[in-house]
Every structure is written in C-alpha cells, then in structure tokens.
A and B are shown apart, each in its own frame.
Chain A
Amino acid sequence: MRSWVPMAVIATAVVVCQGSLARAAWMSDERVWRMTAGAGDDDVALLAVAFAPTFRTTVPASPEKLSGLRRELRGWLAAVGTDDDAASDVLLACGEAAANAVEHAFPEDPGELTVELRLSADRRLTLRVTDTGQWRRVPAPGDRGRGLPLMRAVMDSVLVEPGEGGTVVTMQRRLARV
C-alpha cells in the first residue's frame, strides 16, 4: 500500500525549517521518522526545503554597541554550525569592520551600521557591513591600521566600497561542514 504525505505536513515542515540549517536537518529527521512510521517497505518521497540562513541587525554606530553585536553574532554562528576557528575568524572580521564604521562616524551623529550574513547551501558565508552615517573625510586618529589586514587574513575575500552615504564592506569565507 502506498503512503501519501498530506500537503499540510510538508507546508508545516517548510515553515519550521526556516531560520537555521541545523534545525532544518533535525526537523527533517524527525518528520521522516514520523511520516514513514506506517509506511512499511513502501517507497517514501520527502521534499525537504531549507532556506539559506541569514542574519541581519542594525545598531547605532557607537563603540558600546560592538559587544552586543558580537553576542548576537556568536549565537547565530553556533546555530548554523561553525567550528571554533571559523567562528572566531568571522567574529573578528565582523568586529573589525564594525569598529571601522564606528571609528569613522561622527560622535555627535553616529548614524547606524548594519551587519548582514548569509550562508549558502554550499557553505559559502557572505558577510556585509554597511554604515549609513556620515563619514569624516579624514580618518580618525588612532591605531586602526591593523583592522583591514586582519580582515584580509581571516576571510577568503574582502571588498571595501566607499560611497557617498557611507562604506560597504563585503567579505566571503567558505565554512567547513561540522
């Protein structure tokens, strides 16, 4: 006898899978087990859809916001499954890009910075840090010379695009499966 999976169950699975690959994998296992429980030796087809996990947050471009940003990012990196070295690298690259945005912002009108991450199905992580505040024409004094080389050392690619309204930093890094 053939078992039919009701469409409602598939729809539910798709909705629940959104957000994290780790959770999607876990949900799929659970669904397969439940749906095939009465199927005996019949063939069962299951359509599993996992959305690319994404992260997006916007905070004021102020120094005291950096630690909260890292905390959020750590949680997301753990949820998508990242080994310790890669998590530390992504955190550092993001932290440096965000710190650059903070350091170039006017203290009296810091504007905002947005951090976006997207992990593709082939585990390619794209990290984008965008600031929407005004920028000083002259870099702020300090020791920010180390930031960019660090970002380049830990990511596969780093693209810095200064624009009229601010700067967009786009970085990529391939993550191992864990």
Chain B
Amino acid sequence: MSEKDLARVALERHGDAVLARLSGEIDLSNARAVEDQLTGGLAGSTAVAVDLSGLSYLDSAGLALLSRLAGRLAELSGSLRLVVPPDAFVGRTLSISGLASAIPVDETVEAALAALASG
C-alpha cells in the first residue's frame, strides 16, 4: 500500500462548519500529507469537526497533526472538535496521549456539528 492510499480525507461543508472524515491509517509517512489536505480544504472556515471513527491507526505524528490544527484554529478564535465513538479504534490512543482532554470530543458527528453551531 502506498503512502497515498493509507489514509483518506473527505471534507463536507455544514453551514459555516467543515466536517472532515478521516479514514485508514495515519502515521509518520502520511501525517503531513493528511494535514495539508485537511487545512487546504477548510477554505477559511474556523469551525472544524474531525471524525476519527474510520481510522484504524493513529500514531504520535497524527496526534501532533491534530494538536497543531487545534492550536491554529484557536489562534483564529475558531474551534476544533473530534468525533470519537466509544468503539473507535483510536479512542484508546487519544485518551492515553491526553489529547482527548485537550480537545473537545463528541461521540457522534451530529453532536459535534451542533456544538460548533451553538459555539
């Protein structure tokens, strides 16, 4: 499997917010490419939900990507929310890393979008 096929980024616009659905695996080999795709698709939106339910692997390079994105959006007075259902493969990695307590986490896409809309 090439680096290109390892992960997929699907972007959807929901009003002022952008929902990014990540699937596949994110590691050192593709974290930068995923970040470029993600930030390139925001088109000025600073209300972002990233759905991690389709990921089967996320390493520290991927965690760093999410952390950088959260920092950048905070600088712009925007916000980032992560969608992590209870059965998500990467839920354990997120909580161990402490990132799940630094970035707001919702169990469903609907909850994340509702929180962004009201925020």
Contact = CB atoms under 8 A, between A and B. Distances in A.
Interface of A: 63-64, 66-68, 70, 85, 88-89, 91-92, 95-96, 99, 102-103, 142-147, 149-150, 153-154
A73 to B, nearest CB: 11
Contacts of B3: 63-64
Given A63-B27, A66-B27, A67-B6, 12 more contacts: A63-B3, A64-B3, A67-B1, A67-B27, A88-B93, A89-B92, A99-B27, A99-B60, A99-B61, A147-B59, A150-B97, A154-B96
A101 to B, nearest CB: 10
Nearest to B29: A63
Contact of A66 (B2, B29, B96): B29
Contacts of B103: none
A62 to B, nearest CB: 8
Interface in B1-25: 1-3, 6, 25
Contact of B27 (A95, A145, A153): A95
Q: How large is the interface on B (under 10, 10 to 19, 20 to 34, 35 or more residues)?
A: 20 to 34
Given A68-B1, A154-B96, A143 B29 contact: no
Interface of B: 1-3, 6, 25, 27-29, 57, 59-61, 63-64, 67-68, 89, 92-93, 96-97
B71 to A, nearest CB: 11
A103 B2 CA distance: 18
A106 to B, nearest CB: 15
Given A63-B3, A96-B59, A99-B60, A150 B93 contact: yes
Contact of B92 (A66, A88, A144): A88
7 contacts: A64-B2, A67-B25, A143-B64, A146-B63, A150-B93, A150-B96, A150-B97
A22 B108 CA distance: 37
Given A63-B29, A67-B1, A88 B89 contact: yes
Contacts of B61: 99, 142-144
A166 B18 CA distance: 44
Contacts of A143: 60-61, 64, 67-68
